Amino acid sequence: MIMFPGGFSAGDEPDGSAKFFATAFQNAKLKEAVEKLLNERDGLVLGVCNGFQTLIKLGLVPYGKICGQTDASPTLTYNTIGRHISKMVYTKVVTNKSPWLQGAELGGVYTNPASHGEGRFVASEEVLKELFTNGQVATQYCSLDGSITMDEEWNPNGSYMAVEGITSPDGRVLGKMAHSERRGDSVAVNIYGEQDMKIFESGVKYFK
């Protein structure tokens, strides 16, 4: 597995650590290692927040390979409110295609912290249609009852079609904005809703 974490490395100035990661993994040896992991070893890749930005910049989502971005590629850009957001968000699992989501309930609603200044998922209508058709949209922002919405109360960064996470075509690469890793038995106990998507357990189970 490869895990690209989130956080405020590089001061979270435009793209933050995503630029560093993406540049490093364009190195021929690293690129070859990632390609072998995915194509020969049935490996998994996960990126959260800045890590999701990294996957987008590399092309690992939505294309499943390191090919960079083009003008037609989806991207993550500034939140519509023009500043950083830090709040709990609710997301709905809309596909079980990814090994990372095998422990999550299909159609289930999960709440996790979101903390980013550039988390708005933007793509053309054609690309969005293709992603939904292929089952590559993994999670969407939603209200408490699971209704997908563009209301900024529930979709705080203004992501197109309320997209919060996407996968590669085969589902083995997953990128998402909300911090599924920021949970624990004594964390956010006063917040309503299920917080554990069992992403890491699912990743480990994939290899057992």
Catalytic residue among 13, 32, 49, 164: 49
| Catalytic residue check, 142 | no
Among the listed residues 118, 181, 194, 201, the single catalytic one is: 181
Domains of the chain: 2-180+188-206 (3.40.50.880)
pLDDT at 23: 86
With bands split at pLDDT 50, 70 and 90, how would you rate the model's confidence at 15?
A: low
Note the pLDDT of residue 47.
Answer: 96
SS3 10: helix
Residue 84 is among the residues annotated as catalytic for this protein: no
Lowest mean pLDDT, pick from 26-35, 145-154, 182-191: 182-191
Is the pLDDT confidence value at 16 over 80? no
Q: pTM to 2 decimals?
A: 0.95
Cα–Cα distance, 120 to 182 (Å, whole number):
20
Q: CA-to-CA distance for 101 and 196, rounded, in angstroms?
A: 11
- Given 32, 105, 179, 201, which residue is catalytic? 179
Helices and strands in the chain: count of H runs, count of E runs: 6, 9
Per-residue pLDDT of 58-107, as tens digits, reads 999 999 999 999 999 999 999 999 999 999 999 999 998 999 999 999 99
Question: In this predicted structure, what is the pLDDT of residue 21?
Answer: 83
Distance CA 189, CA 85 (A): 21
User: Do residues 143 and 90 make contact, with C-beta atoms less than 8 angstroms apart?
Assistant: yes
Residues above pLDDT 90, as percent of the chain: 83
Phi, psi (degrees; rounded to nearest 5) at 82: 75, 15
Structure-token pair, residue 41: 């070893």
In angstroms, rounded to a whole number, what is the distance separating the alpha carbons of residues 68 and 59?
A: 5
In DSSP terms, 92 is beta-bridged to 109, 140
Cα separation values, 194 from 41, 172, 184, 191, Å: 33, 24, 11, 9
- Annotation says 179 is catalytic: yes
**Nearest residue to 113 (alpha-carbon basis) of 164, 28, 180:** 180
- Pull the structure tokens for residue 162: 């309320």
Q: Are strands 2-4 and 45-48 parallel, antiparallel or unpaired?
A: parallel
